Amino acid sequence: MDLIILAIGTEIIKGRIQDTNSGYIAGRLYSAGFTVREIRCIGDDETLIKKTISDCFSMVEVIIATGGLGPTRDDMTKSAACAFFNSRLILDLELSRKLEKLFRRMDYSSVPELSRSQALVPEGARILPNPRGTASGLLLEKYGKLLFLLPGVPVEMKGLFEEEVLPILCERFGREKLYTAIVRTIGIGESVLAEKIEKGLSEREKTFLSYYPHGGMVDVVVSQPLSGEKAKKPEILKVADHAASQVRDHVYARDEKNLFQVLAEILSTRKLKLALAESCSGGLLSKTITDLDGSSAYFEAGVVSYSNKAKTVFLEVPDKLIAGHGAVSNPVALAMAEGVRKKTGADLSLAITGIAGPSGGSEEKPVGTVIIALSSETGTKAQRFSFGGDREQIRQRSTVKAAEILWRHLTRENR
Amino acid sequence: MDLIILAIGTEIIKGRIQDTNSGYIAGRLYSAGFTVREIRCIGDDETLIKKTISDCFSMVEVIIATGGLGPTRDDMTKSAACAFFNSRLILDLELSRKLEKLFRRMDYSSVPELSRSQALVPEGARILPNPRGTASGLLLEKYGKLLFLLPGVPVEMKGLFEEEVLPILCERFGREKLYTAIVRTIGIGESVLAEKIEKGLSEREKTFLSYYPHGGMVDVVVSQPLSGEKAKKPEILKVADHAASQVRDHVYARDEKNLFQVLAEILSTRKLKLALAESCSGGLLSKTITDLDGSSAYFEAGVVSYSNKAKTVFLEVPDKLIAGHGAVSNPVALAMAEGVRKKTGADLSLAITGIAGPSGGSEEKPVGTVIIALSSETGTKAQRFSFGGDREQIRQRSTVKAAEILWRHLTRENR
């Protein structure tokens, strides 16, 4: 059974808001063994919503729609759904009472008129309770077609999807999971990676491979292709093992863990503490490391030493060193890494200094020049890189490269 | 003239990769006066790609497709386009020579076989040169229909879109821009905002309003609705002025500038320096501030003092204070803000300490408890907040609230 995900919101097709809901739903459905045929985004236009629901139901049995359930006049998903299902909006008294209580608790001086509309539901629809907000999820069902309506606010959508939609789908359409293997690589480009991996594979085996480059890394996913004869688990595993063995020095994970989760595990297990000194990356590395719950176990501190003075005050980088070599130089990167390690007493430290641009470059040190240093009790080393791309990409690549350097240091004996 | 944006990639409908290209293209087309009818995402499936191109061309004259132009076997956009246009792939010799040179310069030991496929183009297609990568853009045109094919790598797609696609579209279909006004607000929820703004507006005027909540802020966009009688510039402006006057204390911009750009302007103009001390936000505020080019003019440094020791070492927060009140407390937030301001000599500083969760909460200080302090030469003040949501949301909301506090401090005399 195929599904279509439908994101509704004029803000999305005007490019003002990024639709992250559809990707989330798609990933969760895929893991649960369902196939998403399409993701569509359309504006808050009642006629177009109705037409799209009708078009999609000519292809699939289930639509999961997000957005347009809010209290303002531009939210018209419910009325469009009513139009398709020949239903009408009625006031759900129980829901209305619940919402009144909620709004009073939220300290509104009066229950806002607009939010009353949140208790209007299509007649015959099943209400999917939303404990995180005021827009309930809804399930409309007729002619063998299922239409789920979820609010567009990501946290509310996620809660409803996990607690209501997915259980309903699994109960109705429960199916065997497709077996998938993953080989996550770093420090090697997509073309060269594919060339190395596909050497020695049959034509059929090659169709199992997909390459997903993201942020300077490439994931190799081995799975049943969208069409063709079904692949069995041993076949998939064999191809994944072959792929990993061909590029052994670049494989950081054989599961869904990202590089930072891999680092987190190693640091936690070995009880090592990490400290950071960032200049051009501006806190991005600290932010990425602390994105993970539990990072306080191994992350000591980060210093975003953007100005030269900050490098001196917090990291004890000598003024003279900066004056003599420039802030973007191997000696300064080394001093930053050593400074932050000494100050915090951490076992390991990374330092990043560079020119993220678009201004600040010179002939000798053009935009994209970045020095990364790693310090540990066995010594401190710095490497110079020249990254392409815009400011955001240079910051991103610096961060990933620093993580790669740390990963190579921590795993050098096992690879 | 309406357009459809088509993102092609199995990785997208499997939820492994977020399609950010379509949102970018949609935003740029909207600003240029074009209307995006739909955004669609489908997998790398030749039959489905061909069918979708055909379906979309029954509705619009122009499709902008991204993805599936890479060198690996799962990239099949070009052959699907050929199938629709009754064309065939031929080797472009000039492009092939260029790519060979490029690969040699990139220090590949041999020009990889796979990448030769990058010089195969549909017969009759116009090649749109891509100086940032190996996959050229392509324009196929027949039966009055235009199909643009762009690579999926965002930086390459953006370059090709700006330098090739948009100029071609504007030349062919150049049209009047729709007038749009924006009122950007902070610190007020969507329902209450809408209630206040819509008071005193006619039914017609209310249809001009759209509300875009994002990261704790709400943008009010005043524009021609998708259907109905055309709105003239003075009408739009009048509604925008009314909206802004109804919620004056929450309006931080009347243009596309975000809150951090507004802060950047104020700090630069007044030659004020800012320093940060972050605990639970883990560097997110530093990262967000340094996302902006030119931030070194006003951003001095940030300390991500994740551990208690880091708070003492870098910010001189007394051990006793932390032991007596806990790291998440008003006295510690005050000491962090004062410490980082004193150390860096900055004019202003912000400190954030809190519990981002999911663990670490207590009855007295549950997950979501965050203290934010602002220090300036006129004194230091701390405020306690209780944010909802998950770890990511709590960190995001802390960051935006800190920025709001700084904005209120800097603009208190003008509002």
- Strand partners for A42: A8
Q: What is the pLDDT of residue A112?
A: 61
The two structure tokens encoding residue A132:
């995180």
Co-location of B246 and B163 in the same domain: no
Which of A130, A150, A173 is at the close of a domain? A173
Q: What is the pLDDT of residue B73?
A: 74
> Mean pLDDT over residues A34-41, rounded?
94
Q: State the smallest CA–CA distance between residue A191 and chain B in angstroms.
A: 7
Co-location of B14 and B163 in the same domain: yes
Return the residue in A279, A306, A349 with the most chain B beta carbons within 10 A, the one to mutate for interface testing: A306
CA B375 to each of CA B338, B361, B381: distance values in angstroms, whole numbers, following the listed order? 6, 27, 7
Residues of chain B with confidence (pLDDT) below 50: none
**Residue A406, SS3 per DSSP:** helix
What dihedral angle (degrees, nearest 10) is formed by the CA atoms of A181, A187, A190, A192?
A: -110
Enumerate residues 6+ apart whose C-beta is below 8 A from B152: B7, B8, B9, B21, B66, B67, B68, B69, B70
Which of A253, A282, A305 is at the close of a domain? A253
Tell me which of A179 and B149 has the higher pLDDT.
B149
B212 touches chain A (CB under 8 A): yes
A296/B306 touch (CB, cutoff 8 Å), yes or no: yes
Residues in A 251-270 with any Cβ partner in B closer than 8 A: none
Picking from B220, B224, B295, B222, the residue whose alpha carbon sits closest to that of residue B251 is: B220
**B288 near B260, Cβ under 8 Å?**
yes
Co-location of B151 and B215 in the same domain: no
Secondary structure (DSSP) of B35-60: EEEEEEEE-S-HHHHHHHHHHHHTT-
Co-location of B55 and B155 in the same domain: yes
Apex B17 CA angle, B14 and B19, nearest 5: 105
The two structure tokens encoding residue A208:
């199992």
pTM above 0.80, yes or no: no
Q: What is the pLDDT of residue A38?
A: 96
Q: State the smallest CA–CA distance between residue B201 and chain A in angstroms.
A: 13
How many CB atoms within 10 Å of residue B411?
Answer: 13
Q: How many domains does chain A have?
A: 3
> Which residues of A are less than 8 Å from B282 in CB distance?
286-287, 289-291, 295, 299, 302
Structure-token match 């009073």, residue found: A104
> Which residues of A are less than 8 Å from B16 in CB distance?
27, 30, 212, 219, 221
**B36 near B23, Cβ under 8 Å?**
no
Q: State the smallest CA–CA distance between residue B198 and chain A in angstroms.
A: 10
CB pairs under 8 A between A and B: 299
End-to-end CA distance of chain B: 43
Q: One-letter amino acid identity for B63?
A: I
Minimal Cβ distance to B71: which of A16, A22, A191: A191
Minimal Cβ distance to A11: which of B112, B212, B286: B212
Co-location of B120 and B230 in the same domain: no
Cα–chain center distance at B372: 25
A193 touches chain B (CB under 8 A): no
Minimal Cβ distance to A14: which of B26, B70, B195: B26
What dihedral angle (degrees, nearest 10) is formed by the CA atoms of B239, B244, B245, B247?
A: 130
Q: What is the DSSP letter of A18?
A: -
Return the residue in A20, A46, A73, A273 with the most chain B beta carbons within 10 A, the one to mutate for interface testing: A73
The radius of gyration computed from the CA coordinates of chain B, to the nearest angstrom, equals: 26
The CATH number covering residue B232 comes to 3.30.70.2860
A14/B20 touch (CB, cutoff 8 Å), yes or no: no
Distance CA A226, CA A224 (A): 7
Cα–chain center distance at A167: 23
A353 touches chain B (CB under 8 A): no
The two structure tokens encoding residue A92:
């759900």
Co-location of B368 and B400 in the same domain: yes
Co-location of A295 and A352 in the same domain: yes
- Strand partners for A128: A137
Cα–chain center distance at B332: 33
Over residues A287-300, the pLDDT tens digits come to: 999 999 999 999 99
A282/B285 touch (CB, cutoff 8 Å), yes or no: no
Residue A145 has pLDDT above 60, yes or no: yes
A299/B306 touch (CB, cutoff 8 Å), yes or no: yes
- Strand partners for A221: A182, A210
Residues in B 26-45 with any Cβ partner in A closer than 8 A: 26-30, 36-45
Burial of A330 (0-12, 13-18, 19+ CB in 10 A): middle
The CATH number covering residue A114 comes to 3.40.980.10
> Mean pLDDT over residues A195-216, rounded?
88
Q: What is the DSSP letter of B260?
A: H
Co-location of B191 and B263 in the same domain: no
Given phi > 0 = left and psi -120 to 50 = alpha, else beta, which region is A144? left
Co-location of A33 and A158 in the same domain: yes
**Residue A210, SS3 per DSSP:** strand
B302/A309 touch (CB, cutoff 8 Å), yes or no: no
Minimal Cβ distance to B39: which of A41, A300, A357: A41
- Strand partners for A312: none
Enumerate residues 6+ apart whose C-beta is below 8 A from B305: A301, B277, B278, B279, B311, B314, B315, B317, B336
Distance CA B47, CA B42 (A): 11
Distance CA A254, CA A220 (A): 10
**Residue A395, SS3 per DSSP:** helix
Over residues A77-132, the pLDDT tens digits come to: 999 999 999 999 999 988 888 887 777 665 555 566 656 778 899 999 999 999 88
Three-state helix/strand/coil letters over A299-352: EEEEEECCCHHHHHHHHCCCHHHHHHHCCCCHHHHHHHHHHHHHHHCCCEEEEE
How many CB atoms within 10 Å of residue B315?
Answer: 24
Picking from A284, A360, A304, the residue whose alpha carbon sits closest to that of residue A328 is: A360
Q: Where are the beta strands (DSSP E) in A78-125?
A: 89-91, 120-122
Over residues A374-401, the pLDDT tens digits come to: 999 999 999 999 998 889 889 999 999 9
Minimal Cβ distance to A195: which of B11, B114, B134: B114
Distance CA B363, CA B385 (A): 15
B274 touches chain A (CB under 8 A): no
Residue A24 has pLDDT above 60, yes or no: yes
Q: What is the pLDDT of residue A211?
A: 84
> Mean pLDDT over residues A208-234, rounded?
80
Q: What are phi and psi of A354, to 5 degrees?
A: -175, -170
Long-range contacts of residues B307-313, Cβ cutoff 8 Å, at least 24 apart: B307/A296, B307/A299, B307/A300, B307/A301, B307/A344, B309/A300, B309/A301, B309/A344, B309/A345, B310/A300, B310/A301, B310/A344, B311/B277, B311/B279, B311/B335, B311/B336, B311/B339, B313/A301, B313/A343, B313/A344
A303 touches chain B (CB under 8 A): yes
Q: Which chain A residue has the Cα nearest residue B25?
A: A15
Co-location of B115 and B36 in the same domain: yes
B293/A343 touch (CB, cutoff 8 Å), yes or no: no
Q: Picking from A78-82, A252-256, A272-276, B130-134, which range would have the lowest pLDDT averaged per residue?
A: B130-134
**B274 near B285, Cβ under 8 Å?**
no
Co-location of A248 and A294 in the same domain: no
Minimal Cβ distance to B195: which of A15, A112, A390: A112
> Which residues of A are less than 8 Å from B13 in CB distance?
26, 30, 36-39
Distance CA A119, CA A51 (A): 25
The radius of gyration computed from the CA coordinates of chain A, to the nearest angstrom, equals: 26
Residues in A 367-406 with any Cβ partner in B closer than 8 A: 388-393
Confidence of residue A411 (pLDDT cuts 50, 70, 90): very high
Distance CA A124, CA B158 (A): 46
Minimal Cβ distance to A389: which of B41, B47, B155: B155
Q: What is the pLDDT of residue A177?
A: 59
Which of A128, A144, A173 is at the close of a domain? A173
Residues in chain B: 415
Distance CA B159, CA A151 (A): 34
Pairing mode, if any, of strands B137-142 and B251-253? unpaired
B144 touches chain A (CB under 8 A): no
Q: State the smallest CA–CA distance between residue B48 and chain A in angstroms.
A: 9
Picking from B324, B312, B331, B311, the residue whose alpha carbon sits closest to that of residue B381 is: B331
Which domain range does residue A318 map to?
A: 259-411
> Which residues of A are less than 8 Å from B177 in CB distance?
none
Q: Which chain B residue has the Cα nearest residue A344?
A: B310
Apex B198 CA angle, B194 and B201, nearest 5: 165
Co-location of B47 and B92 in the same domain: yes
> Which residues of A are less than 8 Å from B287 in CB distance?
282-284, 286-287
